[in-house]
Amino acid sequence: MVRPTQLLHPPRPAAPLRPAATVLLLRDGPDGVEVLMTRRSMTASFAPGAYVFPGGGIDDADAQAFGAAARRPTQTDLRLTQAIAAIRESFEELGVLLARRADGGWATAEDIAALDRKAPFAPQCTARGLKLAADEVFVLAHWITDRDLSRRFDVPFLIARMPEGQEPVADESEQFEPLWVRPADALARHAAGQFFIIFPTIRTLERLQAHATVQAVLDACAAHDEPLWTSCPRAGLVRGRESRHMEHEPPFGELALVCPDGQIVHPLDWQHEQPVPLLKQVMRLTAPNSGVMTGPGTNSYIVGDPASGYIAIDPGPDDGAHIERLWRACGADLRAIVCTHSHPDHSPGAARLQTLCVQAGATRPPILGLASAATARENSRFTPDRALADGERLALQAPDGTTHTLMAVHTPGHAANHLCLVLLEDGLLFSGDHILNGSTTVIDPPDGDMSAYLASLDRLAALCDEQGIEFILPAHGHVLGDLRRSADNPSAPVEGGARRAIDQLKAHRLAREAKIARAMQARPDGGLDDWVPLAYDDVPERLWPVARRSLLAHVDRIRALGGFNA
């Protein structure tokens, strides 16, 4: 785990979480699923003026009202409490009563009129012979309010079908203007500035619009009786404005690393003019070689500090301006240059960077890495001053005893001479091109090998457990990962975000391989050009020439395993 002394921003405690529950009441409209939303009071302490789903805090009485509610066999006490709270809130705020009469029919307008919205809820329902339909309320999502906010909630977003024969009537105190709206229409109105909704509502509506009917939504949630997703978003700055991101979105891991306590100070915009501090001992300088294959550009990393000196990782292409910026960022105290592999967007700048150091009168830093194999393409030839042994450690030490130790890990697959580096004191993995953020790396035979690549993934996964690695710093894209689950980070995976990212990447590769095998079986007399459209039908056609290279690597592996012989 990252040393607290290396964080850029002082720690700050997050506001305590308050348990709450929200319910999405759904109905089938003429053009698809519609959801009931209302506008919050302009004087509300949380999200004033926003259009929301009904809901609110969980009361002690909700956990004591089990006898008043119908319950599914799989419904835990927690889920039952949340469902009861959501039913109560929808009644108090909108006069919608998710309760059934003794004959099985929904509560009527007469039943609703007989209840007092401000009096204890469950006893009134019981006295009138109504059973709360908690068994018909399912959990869709689990949202935890962002760490930067002063009022925070731990809230399930529940779903239920709107009871027949009822009409919402807002309390005109907390909620106003109830309306039925298609998720797509709500999102379009929000984008046009006509319908203010907050981040969790936006993301929930985005996912809800994928379902054609209410029953489809209910079936998806009932299948596991657990949230379809859990999120505690993080925020950074894009063009100087606040930008929030969920766990699966590319900037999330970087925000977790740089601002673990939710400070909204880190710029997420890609720029090439100056290094971006990630920790006190880690900077990223992105080369100006953005493109289809390189994303925003190749990330050069600088590890160390003024007292210890620096190690540069992946100096990138031989771009004079980029290399000079990299040299200046090291303060002319560069101890070593490490290339993760020999590809032309990673290693050619090493010689120029070394020369700049010598010309400035500094000690000549060695260029380290692995020599390119005979299988490398002509533009990927590379010979280091010295080869790094697998497991070798490169140590920087400051006079005060602070150390920064990089361990080399041989990871063939993307290239035969690929290696990764682990910053041992802080649990950081510099993954080169083996693991990227936002795309999967190309495995291009003969220098690329899919079996070797997958084996290297397994080795990196094991290292995450052994070394407590929580974050991956790729050669292209933002930092990946998250802190491990804790009371302050409840939405994170138990095993840590880096390990989960690797597991998901391997699962994706194997799923693609299975799809390729099916394509080969469907077209046994075909070739690569016949199989690409079948195996990569979910990828834009303009990327098929690139996908074809990885497809070949999968085909070689499938045939080596005896899975298909044509």
* pLDDT value at residue 223: 87
Do 441 and 454 form a contact (C-beta atoms < 8 A)? no
Give Cα 306 distance to the centre of its chain. Answer: 33
* pLDDT value at residue 292: 87
- CA 203 to CA 198: how far, in whole Å? 9
Mean pLDDT taken over the chain: 94
Kindly state the average pLDDT of the residues 114-130: 94
* pLDDT value at residue 566: 47
* pLDDT value at residue 51: 94
Query: What residue ranges define each of the domains in the chain, with the CATH number in brackets?
Result: 17-229 (3.90.79.10), 233-269 (no CATH), 270-490 (3.60.15.10)
Instruction: Give residue 497's pLDDT band: very low, low, confident or very high (50, 70, 90).
Output: confident
Residue 36, token pair as written in the block: 């009931």
CA dihedral 450, 454, 459, 461 (to 10 degrees): 150
Kindly state the average pLDDT of the residues 137-160: 95
- CA 49 to CA 43: how far, in whole Å? 8
Instruction: Give residue 565's pLDDT band: very low, low, confident or very high (50, 70, 90).
Output: low
Instruction: Mention every residue, 6+ apart, whose C-beta is less than 8 A from residue 362.
Output: 332, 333, 334
Do 454 and 513 form a contact (C-beta atoms < 8 A)? no
Q: Which helix (H) or strand (E) holds 194?
A: none
Instruction: Mention every residue, 6+ apart, whose C-beta is less than 8 A from residue 239.
Output: 269
* pLDDT value at residue 225: 85
Residue 490 sits at the vertex; the CA angle it makes with 230 and 45, to the nearest 5 degrees, is 80
Give Cα 522 distance to the centre of its chain. Answer: 35
* pLDDT value at residue 445: 96
- CA 190 to CA 205: how far, in whole Å? 11
For 235-264, write each residue's pLDDT tens digit. Answer: 999 999 999 999 999 999 999 999 999 999
* pLDDT value at residue 537: 95
Do 215 and 246 form a contact (C-beta atoms < 8 A)? no
Distances, alpha carbon 5 to alpha carbons 2, 58, 210, 254, 402, in Å:
8, 39, 45, 18, 10
Kindly state the DSSP code that residue 129 receives in the 8-state scheme. T
pLDDT of 226 above 60: yes
Higher pLDDT, 428 or 494: 428
Q: Phi and psi for 368 in degrees, rounded to 5?
A: -115, 155
SS (H, E, C) 507-551: HHHHHHHHHHHHHHHHCCCCCHHHHHHHHCCCCCHHHHHHHHHHH
Kindly state the DSSP code that residue 267 receives in the 8-state scheme. B
pLDDT of 483 above 90: no
Instruction: Give residue 417's pLDDT band: very low, low, confident or very high (50, 70, 90).
Output: very high
- H-only helix segments in 95-235: 109-114, 121-127, 183-191, 199-208, 214-222
pLDDT of 564 above 90: no
* pLDDT value at residue 440: 93
Instruction: Give residue 44's pLDDT band: very low, low, confident or very high (50, 70, 90).
Output: confident
For 303-330, write each residue's pLDDT tens digit. Answer: 999 999 999 999 999 999 999 999 999 9
What is the sign, positive or negative, of the torsion defined by CA atoms of 544, 548, 549, 551? positive
Kindly state the average pLDDT of the residues 384-396: 98
* pLDDT value at residue 201: 96
